[in-house]
Chain A
Amino acid sequence: MNAALRKLFSFNGGVKPQTHKAESTRTPIVPLPLPPVFVVPLHQSVGGTPIPLVKPGQKVLKGERIGAADGNYSAAIHAPTSGTVVAVEPRTMAHTSGLSMLSVVIEPDGDDQWLATEKFPFQSAAPDEVRDYLRDAGIVGLGGAVFPSHMKLKPGKATPMKTLVINGAECEPFITCDDMLMRERPAEILRGICIMRELLQAEEAVVGIEDNKPEAIASMQTAAATMPYVQVVAVPTRYPAGGAKQLIRVLTGIEVPHGQRSTDYGVQCFNVGTAYAIHEAIELGRPLISRIVTVAGHVDTPRNYEVRFGTPMDFLVQQAGLKTGCDGFVMGGPMMGFRMPAFDVPVVKATNCVIAATPALFPPPPPEMPCIRCGECARACPTDLQPFEMYWHSRAKNFGKAQEYSLFDCIECGCCAYVCPSNIPLVDYYRFAKTEIWARERQMEAADSARQRFEARNERIEREKREKAEKLAARAAATRATAQADAGSAPSADGADDAKKALIAAAIERAKAQKPATAEAPAVADASTQD
């Protein structure tokens, strides 16, 4: 369908950094050769950590499930090639923290033999079955957020689904994996879009692509020519137009607030890479074991590779000709990417780009100056926040105030730090404040639960004491009653004395009866301690 007529909206703020995209789009996507070893982390998506299904020494086939989704809010993990599991052990993650995470280490056998795969009967399956299938195929959002896709493929309850937004904006500098995918495999992407549209029962699907990618737009438009309900729309190039909320705003005019489901507003957003992965899973029966990754920065030939998850990053970057002087890898783009703790961390589902960094490419920031409240950050903020206010409060560890200034609406796009004339690492302050607030919330929850349990326990002990006392009292009353009955018509003045005597007698009898039992008990305890 002709897309020229669609009314576009805009979001406030944003910046226009140098794109550096031309370098890596000169050559087509190539599959990466098999590395000597795969390290597949089990935790590659938002949600529960998958449970390992394999043991060291076990043979696996390509596409075989090696980690099962832990609950519904999780996604499965699969073997990237056929080979032998050498270890299931913690390995350094592709995460700035440098922490380790349980990973499956696989030595390829070189055959690269697929598990028998078959098309999923998507048309005849119930929607829930399709979603379960996608979860077990390990499909997550490939734009970088790695949110389990099956969770997002449910239509909203109240609002009918209007628009399925497909994100091909790819606004971050250096990254071109979506661009190349759209240029080379538009038909597959569109088939994935059709599946998602049916699952969501959306009226229309709109593919938003930044207008600095004319080849991708043309390729997608040609492929979509026969589909009346799919529009391919060029959106103005302005970072972060590829943010899900920003793109939804640009294409539909709807602003989805933080913490709300976009389906409740009648829209949903997926990355083009996710659409492609869904097509592969449903129509070819292939789980998600690879993705397109841009290799850029300090390399001979920046380009895009189809990379299997678990491939060590240094192996990948060396294929592109890593030059000397690289001082670290950045996963993602220069605006939102993360420094990797080591060169050999594995490529994961979130890895859209690996940049070999040098001090010349990403120079250390000039010294941080005090904030002069110039408001440049507020003008650049795509979520209309007041970044400098959040900065003041985060820096002062005044987290409540920072939250009042909507800290959690911040998408950490980096626009504020990009424009700041005082070179303040603003986003670092927000990341610090956010994780600190989460930690405090966890602490608070733990304290609350401990308090409750402590009080419940005290109450229980009290109750038990009370019940014991009541029981004793009841028994005493009963004994007294029988004693009284025995005394018969004795004068009431002596009655009390008799009752007491009877009580004491009863107590002695009870003690006699209990003696053998208590004598046995310590013996048992002794026996067990000697074990």
Chain B
Amino acid sequence: MLNNSPYVRANSSVTRVMLKVLLALVPAIGVSLWLFGVGILIQLALASLTALACEALMLKARGKPMRLFLTDLSAVVTAWLIALAFPAIAPWWLVVVATIIAIVLAKHLYGGLGQNIFNPAMVAYAAMIVAFPSLMSQWPSTQLDTAAQLQAVFGHADATQRAMDAITSATPLDSLRTGLRAAGATVESVVQSPVFGWAGGSGWEWLSLAYLVGGLWLWQQKIITWHIPLAFIGTLAAVSGVFWLVQPDSFASPLLHLAAGGSMLGAFFILTDPVSAATTPRGKLIYAAGAALITYLIRSFGAFPDGVAFATLLLNICVPLIDMKTQPAVFGHKQ
């Protein structure tokens, strides 16, 4: 029996959309691999397996068709975002717990695919950084060999801790924040440290570039629109630029803000998550600009080195209001 029209469809599916997002993350995974070693691959595998297991369990519990929703790859996208946002040498349980929080709490308890108000990966990140702030800020300072990586991820707590002290360093934003606390320190003196490369931190600027490349490809593939990345980057640059021009000693340059931390990951992959983001063109601009502003405020005046996760969650709350107030004019009703 025939259905109702339309009888023809464009060749698109949720799986295809998610697959493209995963592909767009590949450059960043490559750079991470080069920067931090195979740890990132271990984390990706851990997160993906946990995500799929949780997804399967929750689908079963909720009586949803298993195969259809497991193959939509949305859980894998969440898993990859978590793995990439977490330190490559974080202990294995950190990523596993985070993924469980993301899939079970932030996704399925809200109703599963398409129903979550908050970005699941960012809920997990926020929960973990509040619960384990030190573990979340220990990034490998150099590329580690595989044995050291495995030791860091799967080793005993004590041994891990000892090993960690030797091999880790804070992220550039973290260093900047602690550096500025010292008496008489200025941004200029702090960024002399080798941890800061030519832009946003040694190596980190390449990671940001990789996200930028992946994000631009997503835009070219029409998976995302220009509104959110541009508004986020533009606002972040503008706000940090103003502070930097007024007081260059205490505030980092726009370039550092854009290239460091989760700016690019957030602009192209986190904030653009369609389920939890604003949907109207004007709404997207407001949403991303708001997120950029809060990110900057948290980075410069807040208690955490980076603010992308919290900014995303805060703006997620505002989405229904933003969408409602920014409905575009309908054909024939424009004035």
A373 touches B114 (CB 8 A): yes
A370 touches B114 (CB 8 A): yes
CB of B328 within 8 Å of the partner chain: yes
Taken together as a complex, chains A and B put the C-alpha atoms of A357 and B3 apart, in Å, by 11
B114 touches A418 (CB 8 A): no
CB of B192 within 8 Å of the partner chain: no
> Out of A173, A256, A428, which one reaches B8, CB within 8 Å?
A173
Q: Which of B276-335 contact A (CB under 8 A)?
A: 277, 279-280, 323, 327-334
Q: A18-B8, A369-B14, A421-B16 are in contact. Are A327 and B2 (CB under 8 A)?
A: yes
CB of B156 within 8 Å of the partner chain: no
Residues of chain A contacted by B9 (CB below 8 angstroms): 365, 417-418, 420, 423
B1 touches A327 (CB 8 A): yes
CB of A464 within 8 Å of the partner chain: no
Q: Among the interface residues A333, A334, A375, A383, which one has the most CB atoms of the partner chain B within 10 A?
A: A375
Residues of chain A contacted by B114 (CB below 8 angstroms): 369-373, 422
Taken together as a complex, chains A and B put the C-alpha atoms of A73 and B74 apart, in Å, by 53
A384 touches B4 (CB 8 A): no
Who on chain A is nearest to B67 by CB? A367
Residues of chain A contacted by B330 (CB below 8 angstroms): 258, 383-385, 406, 409
> Contact mask A318-336 → B, CB, 8 Å, 1/0?
0000000001101011111
CB of A362 within 8 Å of the partner chain: yes
Q: What's the least CB distance linking A426 to chain B, in Å?
A: 9
Q: What's the least CB distance linking A452 to chain B, in Å?
A: 34
Residues of chain A contacted by B97 (CB below 8 angstroms): none
Taken together as a complex, chains A and B put the C-alpha atoms of A386 and B278 apart, in Å, by 12
How many CB-defined contacts (below 8 Å) exist between A and B?
145
> Out of B65, B113, B332, which one reaches A258, CB within 8 Å?
B332
A372 touches B332 (CB 8 A): no
A378 touches B275 (CB 8 A): no
Residues of chain A contacted by B197 (CB below 8 angstroms): none
Taken together as a complex, chains A and B put the C-alpha atoms of A334 and B8 apart, in Å, by 6
B8 touches A335 (CB 8 A): yes
Who on chain B is nearest to A412 by CB? B5
CB of A52 within 8 Å of the partner chain: no
B2 touches A409 (CB 8 A): no
A337 touches B113 (CB 8 A): no
Taken together as a complex, chains A and B put the C-alpha atoms of A357 and B287 apart, in Å, by 46
> Out of A15, A96, A406, A409, which one reaches B4, CB within 8 Å?
A96
Residues of chain B contacted by A327 (CB below 8 angstroms): 1-2
Residues of chain A contacted by B63 (CB below 8 angstroms): none
Residues of chain A contacted by B6 (CB below 8 angstroms): 334-336, 414, 417-418, 427
A362 touches B2 (CB 8 A): yes
Residues of chain B contacted by A260 (CB below 8 angstroms): 332
Q: What's the least CB distance linking B115 to chain A, in Å?
A: 7
Residues of chain B contacted by A406 (CB below 8 angstroms): 330, 333
B332 touches A375 (CB 8 A): no
Q: What's the least CB distance linking B70 to chain A, in Å?
A: 12
Who on chain B is nearest to A411 by CB? B331
Q: A383-B330, A386-B327, A409-B330 are in contact. Are A372 and B113 (CB under 8 A)?
A: yes
Who on chain A is nearest to B69 by CB? A369
A15 touches B331 (CB 8 A): no
Q: Give the dominant DSSP class at A's interface.
A: loop
Residues of chain B contacted by A17 (CB below 8 angstroms): 8, 10
A357 touches B13 (CB 8 A): no
> Out of B5, B112, B328, which one reaches A336, CB within 8 Å?
B5
CB of B159 within 8 Å of the partner chain: no
Q: A375-B279, A384-B328 are in contact. Are A431 and B4 (CB under 8 A)?
A: yes
B328 touches A425 (CB 8 A): no
CB of A133 within 8 Å of the partner chain: no
Residues of chain A contacted by B4 (CB below 8 angstroms): 96, 338-339, 425, 427-428, 431
Who on chain A is nearest to B68 by CB? A367
Taken together as a complex, chains A and B put the C-alpha atoms of A364 and B4 apart, in Å, by 10
- Interface residue tally of chain A, by bracket? 35 or more
CB of B174 within 8 Å of the partner chain: no
Taken together as a complex, chains A and B put the C-alpha atoms of A421 and B20 apart, in Å, by 13
B10 touches A384 (CB 8 A): no
Taken together as a complex, chains A and B put the C-alpha atoms of A40 and B12 apart, in Å, by 42
Q: What's the least CB distance linking B225 to chain A, in Å?
A: 8
Q: What's the least CB distance linking A390 to chain B, in Å?
A: 11
CB of A36 within 8 Å of the partner chain: no
> Out of A256, A337, A374, A431, which one reaches B17, CB within 8 Å?
A374
Residues of chain A contacted by B74 (CB below 8 angstroms): 372
CB of B274 within 8 Å of the partner chain: yes
Taken together as a complex, chains A and B put the C-alpha atoms of A11 and B334 apart, in Å, by 13
CB of A21 within 8 Å of the partner chain: no
CB of B72 within 8 Å of the partner chain: yes
Taken together as a complex, chains A and B put the C-alpha atoms of A335 and B6 apart, in Å, by 4
Taken together as a complex, chains A and B put the C-alpha atoms of A417 and B331 apart, in Å, by 19
Who on chain A is nearest to B111 by CB? A370
Q: What's the least CB distance linking A26 to chain B, in Å?
A: 22
> Out of A11, A257, A334, A409, which one reaches B7, CB within 8 Å?
A334
Residues of chain B contacted by A409 (CB below 8 angstroms): 330-333
Who on chain B is nearest to A246 by CB? B331
> Contact mask B158-191 → A, CB, 8 Å, 1/0?
0000000000000000000000000000000000
Q: What's the least CB distance linking A385 to chain B, in Å?
A: 6
CB of A314 within 8 Å of the partner chain: no
CB of A107 within 8 Å of the partner chain: no
Q: What's the least CB distance linking B273 to chain A, in Å?
A: 9
CB of A232 within 8 Å of the partner chain: no
Residues of chain A contacted by B112 (CB below 8 angstroms): 370
A334 touches B332 (CB 8 A): no
> Out of B1, B3, B5, B332, which one reaches A335, CB within 8 Å?
B5
Residues of chain A contacted by B327 (CB below 8 angstroms): 386, 405
> Out of B69, B323, B331, which one reaches A383, CB within 8 Å?
B331
B332 touches A255 (CB 8 A): yes
Taken together as a complex, chains A and B put the C-alpha atoms of A96 and B3 apart, in Å, by 10
> Out of A258, A334, A361, A371, which one reaches B5, CB within 8 Å?
A334
> Out of B1, B69, B279, which one reaches A386, CB within 8 Å?
B279
Q: Which of A213-228 contact B (CB under 8 A)?
A: none
Chain B positions near chain A (C-beta within 8 angstroms)? 1-10, 12-14, 16-17, 65, 68-69, 72, 74, 112-115, 225, 274-275, 277, 279-280, 323, 327-334
List 11 additional A-B contacts (Cβ < 8 Å) besides A327-B2, A366-B13. Answer: A256-B332, A335-B6, A362-B8, A365-B9, A371-B114, A375-B279, A378-B279, A384-B330, A385-B331, A406-B330, A421-B14
Ranked nearest first, the 10 interchain pairs of A and B with the lowest CB-CB distance are: A257-B332, A414-B6, A370-B114, A362-B7, A383-B331, A334-B7, A421-B12, A255-B332, A339-B2, A374-B274
Chain A positions near chain B (C-beta within 8 angstroms)? 11-12, 15, 17-18, 96, 173, 245, 249, 255-258, 260, 327-328, 330, 332-339, 357, 361-362, 364-367, 369-376, 378-379, 382-386, 388-389, 405-406, 409, 414, 417-423, 425, 427-428, 431
Q: Could you jot down 11 A-B contacts, CB within 8 Å?
A: A335-B7, A336-B6, A361-B7, A366-B13, A373-B114, A373-B274, A378-B280, A383-B332, A385-B330, A388-B279, A420-B9
